[in-house]
Amino acid sequence: MKLAWLGILLIGLSIDADAAGRLADVQIIDRDSGSTLPVFRSRGEYWVAGKPGARYSILIQNHRGERILAVTAVDGINVISGETGAWGQSGYVFSPGESYEIAGWRKSNSEIAAFNFTTAANSYAERTGRPANVGVIGVALFLERPAPAPRIDYSNPGARDSNSTKDEVSEGAARAAQSGPGAAAPSAPRLAEVKPQMNSAPAEKLGTGHGAREYSYVQNTTFDRLSSTPNEIIKIRYDSLENLVAMGVVPSRPAWQARPNPFPESIAPRYVPDPPGG
């Protein structure tokens, strides 16, 4: 099934590399600190602990030698279209080996509203009347259908050269458009969009807010899905650290206590101290 897409320029115990996924790595990045949030596995699910107020992004890296489509939803809402999440909706297209951070709700071809951890009551999902799936990040990955082999009309000797020239011109035009003012970085992934197809913690839980506007440029592309259902679905749940501890997702840590001293009245030997500044 050939679909036209709108491409946009453009994760128990902690698991290796703090990433989830097989076709691609998915990580959650704290944009304020630059650190990758540790991923915990509990009850067969992946979890991360978010810091209230912190901005975050979803880092996706394609490990395959072919393009993939990543339809991404936060709190049950498509991050590009704002529709209640479904597999057949728009997603980001990643070239072989490409990685990119999805940092917000897509507002236009040049702007996003940043993701930030906030109270569930202030989340975008709650504010738009869809609170049922607050606290989950989902990435549905699709492989691309191989392009059919080109057909050559041997009755026309010039047909092959003509087609080759046309392809080269199209590619050159695309590169020229990317290098123009305000164009997206050539290495950035693209996003695909289609019409919808018919087919208890002690504290308030975290959700994802509709944060400050930021520049983020996009471009168009096409993507023909190999299957109408995802080849892989990655789901990462999130909440505050306190709530994850209360739910038993993250082991609780006992409060720090001073080590007992058998000779509390004795003064430890002193030596020459370092000068100020070390």
State residue 160 phi and psi, 5-degree precision.
Answer: -65, -45
Mean pLDDT on 105-126: 95
Q: Who has greater pLDDT, 148 or 40?
A: 40
- What is the band of 251 on the pLDDT scale with cuts at 50, 70, 90? confident
Beta strands 24-30 and 35-36, pairing class: antiparallel
Q: Who has greater pLDDT, 76 or 7?
A: 76
* Cα 81 to Cα 77: distance, rounded to the nearest angstrom: 8
* Beta carbons of 70 and 91 less than 8 angstroms apart: yes
Give one word for 53, left, alpha or beta, with left for phi > 0 and alpha for psi -120 to 50. Answer: left
Cβ neighbours for 106, distance < 8 A, ≥ 6 positions apart: 8, 79, 80, 81, 112, 191, 216, 218
Predicted confidence (pLDDT) at residue 5 exceeds the cutoff of 50: no
Predicted confidence (pLDDT) at residue 67 exceeds the cutoff of 80: yes
A 10 A CB-CB count for 163 gives 14
Alpha carbon distance, N-terminus to C-terminus of the chain: 68
Predicted confidence (pLDDT) at residue 113 exceeds the cutoff of 60: yes
Give residue for tokens 């602990």: 49
Q: For a pLDDT cut of 70, what percent of the chain falls above it?
A: 67
- What is the band of 96 on the pLDDT scale with cuts at 50, 70, 90? very high
Low-confidence winner among 35-49, 79-93, 148-162 (lowest mean pLDDT): 148-162
pLDDT in tens, 123-157: 999 999 999 999 999 999 999 998 877 776 666 55
Q: For a pLDDT cut of 90, what percent of the chain falls above it?
A: 54
Strand partners, 192: 91
Predicted confidence (pLDDT) at residue 58 exceeds the cutoff of 80: yes
Coil, strand or helix at 124? helix
pLDDT in tens, 160-218: 444 332 323 323 333 333 333 343 443 455 656 554 444 444 678 999 999 999 999 87
Would you give the DSSP letter of residue 246? H
**List of E strands, 198-259:** 206-215, 221-222, 232-240
pLDDT of residue 166: 32
- For 141-192, the DSSP string reads EEEBPPPPPPP--TTSTTHHHHHHHHHHHHHHHHHHHHHSTTPPPTTS-EEE
pLDDT in tens, 253-275: 655 556 677 777 776 666 676 66
Global pTM reads: 0.70
